[in-house]
Amino acid sequence: MFYRSVFQRFHKSNKGTTAIEFALVAPVLVFVLMAIVEVSMMTFAAISLDGAAIDVARRIRTGQAQASGDAMADFSSAMCSHLGSTLTCGSLLYDARIMTNYSSITLDTEYDPDTDEPIVYGFSAGTSGDIVVVRVMYWWTINTPMISVFFETIPGTNKRMLTSTVVFQNEPYEAGS
């Protein structure tokens, strides 16, 4: 009889229901908020990379990088100053190639099958009138559990390759000026 009255009281009581419901919903809510913050940060980093690449590619297009004597060092230094603290400057990968015409340009990033690193063809800023493709790449580490499956570039790495590509024809400029 005693047990029956305890169970009946427990069955009729609604105290703590809200706490239990919150305990069930809270992990999902926290996960969704973490995912939103992670994707927002990744998008901000990609936009920052794009903006910096577009601004700094102008140094190649106008011949300023070539006039410095070391176009890659000039480009790298300018990229670092444009990015600020958004991305780790030492982790950026650069690729600049001269193309013969616009139809031969491919914008796909190729990866080495052994190392999973992007294939970089070097850094050639070209001269006056050359068509140049500049790519700036950065491995973004995804920290939020379970969303990496949707965003990672290479499965199982928890990393996304952020890539910015700028295609232009160098302006007519005098070499060495």
What's the mean pLDDT when you consider all of the chain? 87
* CA separation for the pair 177, 173 (Å, rounded): 8
Q: How far is Cα 44 from Cα 93, in angstroms, rounded to an integer? A: 18
Residue 126, class by beta-carbon neighbours within 10 Å (0-12 exposed, 13-18 middle, 19+ buried)?
buried
Confidence of residue 10 (pLDDT cuts 50, 70, 90): low
pLDDT of residue 113: 84
Hey, where are the domains in the chain?
17-169
Render pLDDT for 22-50 as a digit per residue (tens, 0 to 9): 889 999 999 999 999 999 999 999 999 99
Cα separation, 89 vs 82, in Å, equals 10
* 48 within 8 A of 88, measured Cβ to Cβ: no
Please give the model's pTM, rounded to 2 decimal places: 0.80
Chain segment 51-109, per-residue pLDDT in tens = 999 999 999 999 999 999 899 999 999 999 998 787 898 899 999 999 999 998 888 88
In this predicted model, what pLDDT tens digit does every residue of 124-174 receive, in sequence order?
Answer: 999 999 999 999 999 999 988 888 888 988 888 899 999 999 999 999 987
In the prediction, which pLDDT does 4 show? 60
And the tokens for 21?
């419901």
